[in-house]
């Protein structure tokens, strides 16, 4: 009776992991749409963690994928081949490990986590969350010529940002970038970013403070720049 119950449980687990494995293959590897897409996704938010933790989590994700493949192979071997009882303990270990990973992934999805959902929320609907030096900011986006030229010009105070912390400038190519304080009434910290790495920081005073136009330049080629009003 006990063995029959274990076999039923293993069959259910096999169906679950086989379905999830197929979904991973079609959705994440082959990039094709299938009815399995309707099972939904868990979208982990790793922005609160340092690069080591992010890399560790990604490695764990790959290992869980390999673990699912192991279960798809070994559970049928255990169920239908004689004298394979030694596999059972390895099957339970892999199942427990994958389920632990699933629980962590679900916890890191803002859809299921009130704390992360609040951390992800930007009160300005036009702003998006970015991580700068291990701190989250809600930033307006400048991604075309008109937006690049205007930037944070004419903003008198942070209240006019309506909940945004600043602005990120996203450029199509890397090159030396320069920013000036013409018509700029906020003191700004300017972060120079190569891909997603901050490679320098400059201070750009307001035109009212400097009394003249001041220009700051990136230390090397960058494709992103962030302006953050300095707290006075």
- What is the distance of C-alpha 11 from the center of its chain? 34
Q: How many CB atoms lie within 10 A of CB 47?
A: 16
Say yes or no to pLDDT of 142 above 70.
Answer: yes
Say yes or no to pLDDT of 119 above 70.
Answer: no
Contact (CB, 8 A) for 223 and 214:
no
Lowest-pLDDT choice from 98-102, 129-133, 228-232: 129-133
* pLDDT score of 64: 95
What span, in angstroms and rounded, lies between the C-alpha atoms of 95 and 7?
Answer: 14
* pLDDT score of 14: 95
What span, in angstroms and rounded, lies between the C-alpha atoms of 229 and 153?
Answer: 12
Of 148, 191, 199, 150, the residue nearest 171 (C-alpha)? 148
pLDDT digits (tens, 9 = 90+) for 38-58: 887 887 877 667 788 888 999
Contact (CB, 8 A) for 214 and 181:
yes
16-25 average pLDDT score: 94
Contact (CB, 8 A) for 203 and 197:
no
Place of tokens 């400048």: 142
pTM score > 0.75 for this model? no
* pLDDT score of 190: 96
Say yes or no to pLDDT of 11 above 90.
Answer: yes
DSSP secondary structure letter of residue 231: P
Collapsing DSSP states into helix, strand and coil, what is residue 123? coil
* pLDDT score of 41: 81
What span, in angstroms and rounded, lies between the C-alpha atoms of 78 and 87?
Answer: 7
């Amino acid at each position: 009776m006990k063995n029959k119950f274990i076999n039923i449980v293993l069959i259910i687990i096999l169906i679950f992991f086989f379905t999830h494995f197929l979904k991973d293959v079609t959705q994440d590897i082959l990039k094709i749409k299938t009815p399995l897409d309707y099972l939904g996704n868990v979208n982990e938010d790793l922005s609160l963690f340092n690069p080591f933790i992010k890399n560790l989590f990604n490695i764990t994700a790959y290992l869980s994928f390999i673990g699912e493949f192991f279960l798809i192979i070994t559970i049928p071997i255990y169920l239908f081949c004689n004298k394979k009882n030694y596999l059972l303990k390895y099957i339970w270990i892999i199942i427990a490990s994958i389920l632990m990973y699933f629980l962590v992934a679900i916890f890191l999805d803002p859809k299921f986590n009130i704390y992360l959902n609040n951390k992800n929320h930007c009160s300005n609907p036009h702003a998006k969350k970015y991580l700068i030096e291990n701190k989250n900011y809600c930033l307006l986006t400048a991604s075309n010529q008109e937006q690049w030229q205007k930037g944070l010009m004419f903003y008198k105070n942070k209240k006019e940002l309506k909940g945004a912390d600043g602005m990120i400038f996203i450029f199509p190519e890397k090159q030396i970038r320069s920013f000036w304080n013409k018509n700029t009434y906020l003191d700004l910290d300017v972060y120079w970013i190569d891909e997603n790495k901050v490679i320098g920081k400059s201070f750009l005073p307001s035109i009212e403070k400097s009394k003249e136009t001041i220009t700051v330049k990136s230390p090397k080629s960058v494709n992103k720049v962030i302006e953050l009003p300095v707290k006075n």
